[in-house]
Amino acid sequence: MRGRSLRFEVTFWYSVVMGVTLLVVGVSIERVAYNRISASIDNSLRQSAYAVINEVALLEGDLRQIPLDSASTVLNPPPWPPRYVQLLSVQGEIIYRSRNLGHYRLPIDTAAIRKRQSGMVVSPDMKLYKDEPIRVITFPLPPIKKRQMGWGQVAMSLHDLDRAKKKNRLALAFTLPAAIAISAIAGWWLAGRALRPIDGVIRTARRIRAENLDERLTRREVDDELGRLIETLNDLLERLELNFRQISQFSADVSHELRTPLTIVQGEAEVALRQGAKPEEMRLALELVLDEAQKMSKLVRNLLTLARLETGQHRPQFVATPLAPIVEDLAEEGQVLAQAKGLTLRLGQMEDAEIYGDAVLLHQLGFNLIENAVRYTPSGGHVELSLITVGEFAHLIVRDTGLGIEESELKHIFDRFYRGDKARNHAEGGSGLGLALVKQIAEIHRGTVEVTSKPGEGSAFTVVLPLKTYMGAESSEASGMPIVERTRS
């Protein structure tokens, strides 16, 4: 894992963007300024060219008669700004040049002259002497007595322009790194200020352990990205706390549930191994050991089923499933349980209902409800199975005339290992997982489980499942729920 911090990343990219922006702006400003000055020079050259044309027009003789020391400021410009004048014959020979040219001559752009016989031509920047940059405008002189007089040239030095351009570039070369350094320092400070709350979140998160999962990150009053992140982390911590408590409770419940059968197994094994034990005592001890082993095996199977249902290790096989045949099979299997305890099990109202579901899981759901009803109904009572449709849903109802459930216990009966006070009897054989499986299987089928009960009068469990007509196969398969093997609680 790289050690580069988010603060460094923000500062780095902030400096890069700022540097590129300053460079583009600086170069653009320098270019715009150069273009404006260049246009001003071209305009000044044109004005000087018109002045030369007017001065030559006043002459009505041979241009060779113009003295080199002419007092005309047009033909002999003042020292500043540095301008040069040169006149050419029609053949391109130099017939006059200003005093400030000395023995030098302006470059002649013969190609421009041949290309354009009338009008003014501004040649590309040239060199005069000692690499002095100049810009030259070439123009035809006015005819005298209908005779072509030749060509005129006016040049202006670009030395100051080039020097200003170099100074600007040099200033940009120095100011740009300084500006980038300043922006980096400012970006580092701003990033630290912006990320300071995240450091607080990190410190708080590092303090949270299994022992203090109830601690939460300090909420922000501003609804910004960081505030939403803190809310999300607090929600995550709340879920983790709930899951951790459930796991801790689950471990404690499993330990409690296994302690009694293991104690019985140990005690009966000691009886069987005791010297002088009679065959009948040994046989009875082994039967008790086998019975407790079967209970522990059932407990483990139920736990495995719940784990598979909750973790999604397998997917249920959702197909169009009629519920009536499943309920009839459950009634036959339930008869055996009911008769063994002296109860009556009968079918009540039966209607055709078809859903998208897993037949194995649905059978296990119904069997767990019947087993639960038979276990907590005294001898002589009865259990009734019904299947009806109400609107868009099928209702599977299991009624009994058993002990009933206290109102305060109704909200806990679907919890793992929960058994009401009246049912806290290990001899009954219940593990407290049957109804938890019922609830989980119903939710896999996008259904619910409802219960009504009165102490001493019995209970009614109603499983509500969406009918096939109102639930497409695609939506059922899209639920992504696991498939499990059939186990009985």
pLDDT tens digits for range 62-103: 566 666 556 677 888 877 778 889 888 877 788 888 888 888
Of 316, 281, 345, the residue nearest 447 (C-alpha):
316
Q: What is the mean pLDDT of residues 1-13?
A: 76
Tokens 């302006």: give the residue: 106
Question: Would you state the pLDDT for residue 91?
Answer: 79
What are the pLDDT digits (tens) for 8-25? Answer: 888 888 889 988 998 899
Q: What is the pLDDT of residues 416-475, one digit of tens each?
A: 776 665 444 444 555 677 888 899 889 989 999 999 998 888 999 999 999 987 665 444
Q: Which carries the bigger pLDDT value, residue 302 or residue 351?
A: 351
Q: What angle is formed at CA 122 by the lines to CA 120 and CA 124, rounded to 5 degrees?
A: 160
Nearest to 444 by CA among 411, 487, 477: 477
- pLDDT exceeds 90 at position 409: no
**pLDDT reported for residue 486:** 37
Domain residue ranges of the chain, discontinuous segments joined by +: 6-164, 225-307, 315-477
Q: Report CA-CA distances (Å) from 39 to 33, 35, 45, 83, 122.
A: 10, 6, 10, 16, 11
Higher pLDDT, 221 or 462: 462
Burial of 163 (0-12, 13-18, 19+ CB in 10 A): exposed
Mean of the pLDDT values across residues 146-169? 83
Cβ within 8 Å of residue 55, ≥6 positions away:
72, 74, 75
Query: At 483, is the pLDDT very low, low, confident or very high (cuts 50, 70, 90)?
Result: very low
Cis bond upstream, residue 81 (ω within 30): yes
Mean pLDDT of 140-155: 81
CATH number of 6-164: 3.30.450.20
- Say which residue, 249 or 262, is predicted with more confidence: 262
Q: Does 127 have pLDDT greater than 90?
A: no
Which range of 263-267, 345-349, 420-424 scores highest in mean pLDDT? It is 345-349
* pLDDT bracket for residue 370 (50, 70, 90): very high
In this prediction, residue 326 carries a pLDDT of: 93
Q: What is the pLDDT of residue 427?
A: 47
pLDDT in tens, 227-256: 888 888 888 888 887 777 767 766 776 676
pLDDT value of residue 447? 93
CATH classification code of 315-477: 3.30.565.10
What does the pLDDT read at residue 476? 43
- Predicted confidence (pLDDT) per residue in 376-400, tens digit: 899 999 999 999 999 999 999 999 9
C-alpha–C-alpha distance, residues 204 and 216, integer Å: 8
pLDDT of the residue at 480: 45
The two beta strands, 382-390 and 344-350, are parallel
Cα gap 112→217, rounded to integer Å: 79
Please tell me the CATH code under which domain 225-307 is placed: 1.10.287.130
| Cα distances (angstroms) measured from residue 110 to each of 58, 88, 114, 138, 269 | 27, 11, 6, 10, 124
* Residues 6+ positions from 80 with CB-CB distance below 8 Å: none
The whole-chain average pLDDT of the chain stands at: 80
Distance between CA 350 and CA 326 in Å, rounded? Answer: 12
Angle between helix 359-375 and 323-340 (nearest 10)? 30
Over residues 117-137, the mean pLDDT reads 79
Distance (Å, rounded) from C-alpha 421 to C-alpha 404? 11
